[in-house]
């Protein structure tokens, strides 16, 4: 998986539309669980205070949210090797 050297970064263009949350494969997998609770689930990306926030511990940097964002607010960047 690509996670090791990539991450998603947010810009100030985000409108809080929530599309990224709905297309994220990590989120959609969680949503299939019977006891899914959007407020408490460990989502990879969610809208908080009107802006999408990525949980880097959970996000696998697949890029689906980046491609789906209507205002190109999200970017996937390479992290320099340490
Ligand atoms: S890059 Fe991360 S937050 Fe975005 S869709 Fe993929 S797993 Fe979800
Ligand atoms: S990052 Fe893009 S898709 Fe996600 S809530 Fe913001 S505007 Fe919508």
**Domain locations in the chain as residue ranges:** 2-78
Q: What is the pLDDT of residues 38-71, one digit of tens each?
A: 999 999 999 999 999 999 999 999 999 999 999 9
26 in contact with ligand 1, CB cutoff 6 A: yes
14 in contact with ligand 2, CB cutoff 6 A: yes
Q: What is the pLDDT of residues 1-18, one digit of tens each?
A: 446 799 999 999 999 999
Distance from residue 30's CA to the centre of ligand 2 (Å): 19
Long-range pairs for 40-45: beta carbons < 8 A, 24 or more residues apart: 45/8, 45/20, 45/21
**Contact (CB, 8 A) for 10 and 51:** yes
* Predicted TM-score (pTM) of this structure: 0.92
- The domain 2-78 is classified under which CATH number: 3.40.50.1580, 3.10.310.30, 3.30.70.20, 3.30.70.590? 3.30.70.20
């Amino acid at each position: 998986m690509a996670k090791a050297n990539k991450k998603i970064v947010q810009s100030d263009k985000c409108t809080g539309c929530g599309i990224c949350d709905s297309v994220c494969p990590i989120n959609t997998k969680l949503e299939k669980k019977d006891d899914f609770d959007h407020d408490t689930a460990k989502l990879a990306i969610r809208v908080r205070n009107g802006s999408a926030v990525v949980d880097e511990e959970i996000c696998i940097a697949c890029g689906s949210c980046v491609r789906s964002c209507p205002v190109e607010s999200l970017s996937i960047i390479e992290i320099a090797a340490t």
